[in-house]
């Protein structure tokens, strides 16, 4: 059972992802978009099921629950898989606003102590503790993911995907708009094939650089 309590808030964005993972800020929601999209790398993500004990500068016992636990798949990049405990933080904390929501006033030193306890806890379990900053989350990749993620659960027909893959095999790396013109001259029929292209990007059969904004003239190719 998840130890942290989640309630609706008039000052924070709260809700559930399609996987029923609760979030309590728009930044957390954005990270969860990225995690849900990376199905080939990530086996699961959710809220940690237990809290981590630590002591503040006065020696008082506290507990800390990170924002997310991520379980990676066994891949060449992560042999044996990996588990990461994560904390989600904006680049510049609104300290007064944050302190007003905490049951006690947390100093920078105490935050460092709390995160050190989480790092040790992770190491003891063979895991990793990581702070996910806003600048790592809110990138062009996030904008692309928000556009493409609908195709994770609603893939296009296999026959349409076969047209895309066959054309790329024949043409090699090609801008998206040129690729679609090569496949279908009729603009209305061509428009109906775009979901197949996006499906192939999502499932990794077609490569597109998602670190830059995905436009109609973006270069796509068969994944290696």
pLDDT greater than 60 at residue 217: yes
Q: For position 12, what pLDDT does the model report?
A: 61
Distance CA 24, CA 12 (A): 7
pLDDT band at 55 (very low <50, low <70, confident <90, very high): very high
CATH classification for the domain delimited by 150-222, as one of 1.10.10, 2.40.128, 3.30.1240, 3.30.2310: 1.10.10
pLDDT greater than 50 at residue 10: no
pLDDT band at 76 (very low <50, low <70, confident <90, very high): confident
| Tokens standing for residue 164 | 């895309």
pLDDT band at 7 (very low <50, low <70, confident <90, very high): low
Distance CA 223, CA 209 (A): 11
What are the boundaries of each domain within the chain? 15-137, 150-222
Q: Just give the CATH number of 15-137.
A: 3.40.1350.10
- Exposure b/e, 123-145, CB count within 10 A at least 16 = b: eeeebebbebeeeebbbebbebb
The mean per-residue pLDDT over the stretch 179-201 comes to 94
Least confident of 18-22, 43-47, 190-194: 18-22
Residues forming a β-bridge with 121: none
Q: For position 43, what pLDDT does the model report?
A: 94
């Amino acid at each position: 059972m998840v130890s942290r309590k989640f309630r609706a808030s008039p000052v924070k964005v709260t809700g559930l992802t399609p996987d029923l993972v609760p979030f309590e800020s728009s930044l957390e929601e954005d990270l969860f978009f990225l995690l849900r999209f990376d199905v080939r790398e990530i086996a699961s993500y959710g809220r940690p099921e237990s809290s981590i004990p630590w002591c503040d500068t006065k020696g008082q016992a506290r507990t800390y629950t990170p924002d997310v636990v991520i379980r990676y798949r066994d891949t060449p990049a992560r042999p044996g898989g990996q588990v990461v405990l994560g904390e989600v933080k904006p680049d510049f904390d609104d300290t007064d606003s944050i302190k007003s929501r905490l049951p006690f006033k947390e100093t920078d030193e105490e935050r460092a102590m709390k995160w050190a306890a989480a790092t040790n806890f992770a190491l003891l379990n063979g895991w990793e503790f990581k702070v996910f900053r806003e600048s790592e989350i809110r990138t062009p990749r996030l904008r692309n993911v928000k556009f493409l993620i609908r195709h994770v659960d609603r893939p296009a027909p296999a026959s349409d995907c076969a047209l895309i893959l066959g054309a790329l095999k024949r043409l090699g790396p090609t801008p998206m708009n040129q690729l679609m013109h090569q496949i279908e001259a009729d603009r209305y029929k061509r428009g109906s094939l775009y979901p197949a292209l996006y499906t192939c990007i999502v499932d990794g059969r077609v490569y597109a650089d998602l670190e830059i904004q995905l436009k109609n003239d973006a270069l796509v190719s068969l994944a290696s």
